[in-house]
């Protein structure tokens, strides 16, 4: 499967919303093609390089499909789009096109089936609900009523202030229970640093 990649200094997770402002010709062309053909593109986290200019040298080999949900001209004249995370993928090989757009052959990753929330997930669910009250999170309109472990783990991994490297590691986990356990460990580390 061939997929245009949008390397960013962020990690997108399935079911999560991301707002982007586009000004580079390569990405405006990419979005135009995607919208005409009803296609998606991929978001990968930059590990080495910048969002603007030449294609970055280093980026995560696991990313998330971006489904275009809305678009509008911003007050500053730039194109604003909102995407929703779709399927996770692994980059098999990639090439930089003449316009510096990265295009990759990707393999879709299988997610474990959604599992109902357990009693021990109550604290993490309460944390998600508290996060959802923050104006910036509320503006993403993702909701705070995760119906299962997959949704809960994806939203927390996306919204919590972990490092990009930690978020890439979380995105690579196939099992939502493993992701929730890893999130709890990261939270414990954060709490330890604060006190």
Q: Domains of the chain: which residue ranges?
A: 2-108, 119-194
**What is the domain class of 2-108 according to CATH?**
mainly beta
Q: For the chain, give the number of residues.
A: 195
Cα distance between residue 11 and residue 72, in whole Å? 23
**CATH assignment of 119-194, among 1.10.760, 3.30.360, 1.20.58, 3.90.550:** 1.20.58
The pTM assigned to this predicted structure is 0.89
Burial 147-166 (b: 16+ CB within 10 A, else e): eebbbbbbbbbbbbebeeeb
Phi/psi of residue 102, nearest 5 degrees: -85, 130
DSSP sequence for 3-29: EEEEEESS---TT-EEEEEE-SHHHHH
Q: What Å distances lie between residue 157 and 1, 19, 58, 91, 139, CA to CA?
A: 26, 17, 22, 21, 18
The SS3 call for residue 68 is strand
pLDDT tens column, 37-73:
999 999 999 987 665 666 666 899 999 999 999 988 8
Domain 2-108 matches domain 119-194 at the CATH topology level? no
- pLDDT of 99-154, one tens digit each? 888 899 999 999 888 889 999 999 999 999 999 888 888 888 876 667 899 999 99
């Amino acid at each position: 499967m061939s997929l245009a990649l949008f390397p960013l200094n962020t990690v997108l997770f399935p079911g999560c919303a991301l707002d982007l402002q586009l000004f580079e010709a390569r990405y405006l062309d990419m979005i135009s093609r995607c919208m005409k053909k009803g296609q998606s593109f991929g978001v990968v986290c930059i590990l080495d390089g910048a969002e603007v200019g030449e294609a970055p040298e280093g980026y995560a080999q696991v990313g998330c499909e971006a489904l275009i949900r809305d678009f509008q001209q911003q007050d500053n004249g730039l194109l604003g789009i909102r995407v929703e995370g779709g399927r996770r993928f692994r980059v098999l090989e990639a090439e930089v096109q003449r316009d510096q757009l990265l295009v990759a052959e990707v393999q879709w990753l299988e997610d474990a089936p959604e599992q109902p929330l357990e009693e021990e997930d109550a604290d993490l669910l309460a944390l998600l609900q508290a996060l959802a009250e923050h104006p910036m999170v509320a503006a993403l309109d993702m909701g705070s009523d995760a119906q299962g472990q997959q949704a809960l783990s994806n939203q927390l991994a996306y919204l919590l202030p972990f490092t990009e490297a930690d978020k890439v590691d979380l995105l690579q986990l196939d099992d939502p229970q493993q992701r929730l356990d890893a999130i709890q460990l990261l939270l414990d580390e954060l709490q330890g640093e604060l006190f």
